[in-house]
């Protein structure tokens, strides 16, 4: 049940403790993919999981701007500070919990959000009468996860499958040519770079020419099945034990 399209009376009739908050970003994804890639993909995965899940579940609107200052050298990228991002997510989860939707999965589409989502989920779980965990779709696609770049084969494929028309196919060669090979500039376990422009000329990491709608479908299957499974676990997890101490 997508909150934005139902009335409060519809929500009032639902019996569930489960909710999902899609979390995206508006940031460069190379010359071929839209700035909204992370939001679109997070929404896609959340929607697919909601359909596959056996039972009612609340889906909030997506958080559209996240932790993305590292992409600021590429035009159109929007960002918020980490602390504001965490506060915004915490408030949204808090209002869901106020209504009794207190088992929440933050369905994330952006690598830059991961650390902050983990931090705020811990804060919520310890202090706010709710249990929240972040799920990042491209970390739950099995062996494909290792191919995650930025605007690379995984993200591009999911767009091609789920939101066709959003990818500029004719720019893929260019995207690949000036992209980087690896996320970050590493030495001895340390990423020396704080800006993506330090290691990619056009914002891409990975080769988006390896993307396909077929792969996208496969990724969506994997990610949404994983998410469904996670939702069941989150729904049933015994939180009493946590409060024992």
Planar angle of CA 166, 171, 175, nearest 5 degrees: 105
Question: Which CB, 159 or 215, lies closer to a second copy?
Answer: 159
How long, in residues, is the chain?
A: 245
Least Å distance between CB 63 and a second copy?
A: 7
Q: In the complex with a second copy, which residue's Cβ is closer, 137 or 216? A: 137
Closest contact distance (angstroms) between CB of 209 and a second copy is: 16
> Judged by CB, which is closer to a second copy: 88, or 213?
88
Tokens 């705020």 correspond to: 120
**Residue 16 burial (CB < 10 Å; 0-12/13-18/19+)?**
middle
Nearer to a second copy, 18 or 121 (CB): 121
Cα distance between residue 83 and residue 127, in whole Å: 17
| Closest distance to a second copy from the beta carbon of 162 (Å) | 14
Closest to a second copy by CB, 88 vs 147, is 88
CB of 50 to a second copy, least distance (A): 15
DSSP string, 47-90: HHHHHHSSS--EEPPPB---S-GGGTTSTT-----HHHHHHHHH
Helix, strand and coil in the chain, % to nearest 5: 50, 15, 35
Nearer to a second copy, 33 or 162 (CB): 33
Contacts of 131 (CB under 8 A, 6+ apart): 102, 103, 104, 124, 125, 234, 237, 239
Least distance between a second copy and beta carbon 212 (Å): 19
Q: Are 89 and 106 in contact (CB under 8 A)?
A: yes
At closest approach, how far in Å is the CB of 143 from a second copy? 12
Q: Give whichever of 54 and 189 is closer to a second copy, judged by the CB atom.
A: 189
Assigned token pair, 45: 């995965």
As measured in angstroms, the least distance from the Cβ of 117 to a second copy is 10
């Amino acid at each position: 049940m997508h909150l934005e399209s139902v009335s409060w009376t519809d929500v009032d009739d639902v019996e569930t403790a489960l909710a999902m908050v899609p979390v995206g970003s508006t940031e460069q994804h190379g010359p071929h993919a839209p700035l909204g890639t992370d939001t679109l993909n997070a929404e896609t995965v959340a929607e697919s999981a909601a359909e596959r899940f056996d039972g009612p579940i609340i889906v909030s609107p997506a958080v559209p701007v996240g932790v993305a200052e590292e992409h600021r050298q590429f035009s159109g990228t929007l960002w918020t500070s980490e602390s504001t991002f965490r506060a915004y997510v915490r408030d949204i989860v808090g209002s869901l919990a106020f209504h009794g939707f207190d088992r929440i999965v933050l369905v994330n589409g952006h690598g830059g959000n991961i650390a902050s989502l983990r931090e705020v989920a811990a804060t919520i779980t310890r202090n706010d009468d709710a249990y929240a965990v972040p799920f990042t779709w491209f970390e739950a696609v099995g062996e494909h996860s290792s191919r995650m770049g930025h605007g690379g084969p995984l993200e591009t494929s999911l767009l091609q499958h789920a939101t066709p028309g959003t990818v500029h196919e004719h720019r893929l060669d260019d995207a690949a040519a000036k992209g980087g090979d690896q996320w970050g500039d590493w030495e001895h376990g340390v990423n020396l770079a704080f800006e993506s422009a330090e290691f990619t000329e056009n914002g891409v990491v990975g080769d988006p020419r390896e993307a396909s709608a077929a792969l996208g479908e496969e990724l969506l299957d994997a990610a949404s099945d994983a998410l469904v499974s996670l939702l069941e676990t989150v729904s049933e997890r015994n939180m009493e034990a946590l409060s024992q101490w």
